[in-house]
Amino acid sequence: MRPGDTVAVVCPSGPADPLRLRRGVRLLESLGLKVVVGEHALERGTPEGLGYLAGSDAGRAADLQAAWCDPAVTAVFCARGGYGTTRLLDLLDWEAMRAAGPKVLIGSSDITALHHVFGVEFGVPTLHGPMPACSTLSDEDGPEPLTWASLQAALFGEPQPVAGTMALAPGRAEGVLAGGNLSLLAALCGTRYQPSFDGKIAFLEDVGEEPYRVDRMLTQLLQAGAFDGVRGIVLGSWVGCGDPYPVLRDRLLPLGVPILAGLPVGHGSPQMSVWFGALGSFDTESCSLSGRLGGAEQAR
């Protein structure tokens, strides 16, 4: 991306706080970007009374598709996560969006569903990072500095390595980075969008899930074969999940691959940015995940 590019902000999940969204838009404009906001981005609830959604499924899908298909738009920022992206997957015209050509999708949490399916449908890297209407970017006192620096580096230059805090299983791994929020990945099991980490590095994180629920979701992914052929695993933040590490060790160590944990990626602050669908590598000796655009096809 370059200063002067046009980016779109859409709300495919939960409703955004208008004040936070305005702050987030001004922040993006401070980078020299032209920002357009989706027509339905500030809607709240549905005619059926589903207040946890940012308007109707049709409206949210229309905003996302219009932004992706607009030839003037370089990148599409999701305003926030929450709930609702899986409801859009069968409403999007994948052929029309594929014909629009590559651009960048940015978001995290519930946006995991879009990261995964965009990677499958379009074969383009997507950026797992902070969102304009969320606290790490839109607090009254300004963005969290490390979060903001990481996002800018990922968008305009070379992605910064992200340091973890511990190794659950030693070793080194290289492969295309994929994954995201554990709850969303588990929810895609049994659908035509079921995830597979074959030949890849899997990234996992979650928020507000008790360890027994983390256990259940990991078991679901394991029994679905999602981890068959995985090259390595990196674990992000587990805010409000108690102590998930006994469960993570119990479920993931039998896979026999390197596992790096404690990356500030996912929920919480700071929230570092990483590219999915790009070549990633890590070694537990340096306790650091590196990624770069390009080379992903060879890694597959």
121 is catalytic: no
Least confident of 157-161, 236-240, 279-283: 157-161
Which residues have a Cβ under 8 Å from the Cβ of 148 and sit 6 or more positions away?
27, 130, 137
pLDDT value for 296: 46
Edge-to-edge strand order for the sheet containing 162-163? 162-163, 288-292, 279-283, 172-181, 200-207, 232-239, 259-261, 166-169
Active-site residue, selected from the candidate residues 196, 267, 273, 290: 267
pLDDT of residue 129 exceeding 70:
yes
Tell me the β-bridge partners of 34.
6
Q: Report pTM.
A: 0.95
CB 233 within 8 A of CB 75: no
Q: Taking the alpha carbons of 69, 71, 75, 77 in that order, is the dihedral positive or negative?
A: negative
Query: What per-residue confidence (pLDDT) applies to 294?
Result: 62
**In the prediction, which pLDDT does 263 show?**
98
205 is catalytic: yes
**What's the rounded mean pLDDT across residues 222-232?**
98
Nearest to 30 by CA among 179, 166, 138: 138
The Cα 182–Cα 217 span in angstroms is 7
Helix (H) or strand (E) holding 186: helix 182-187
Q: Which residue, 267, 257, 235, is CA-closest to 248?
A: 235
Unique residue bearing structure tokens 């809607």? 43
HEC string of 111-140? Answer: HHHHHHHHHHHHCCCEEECCCCCCHHHHCC
How far apart CA 208 and CA 181 sit, in angstroms, is 11
Catalytic residue among 43, 128, 183, 205: 205
- Point out the catalytic residue in the list 109, 138, 150, 290: 109
Q: Is 267 a catalytic residue?
A: yes
- In DSSP terms, 291 is beta-bridged to 280
Domains of the chain from N-terminus onward: 6-156 (3.40.50.10740), 162-299 (3.50.30.60)
Per-residue pLDDT tens digits for 251-284: 999 999 999 999 999 999 999 999 999 999 999 9
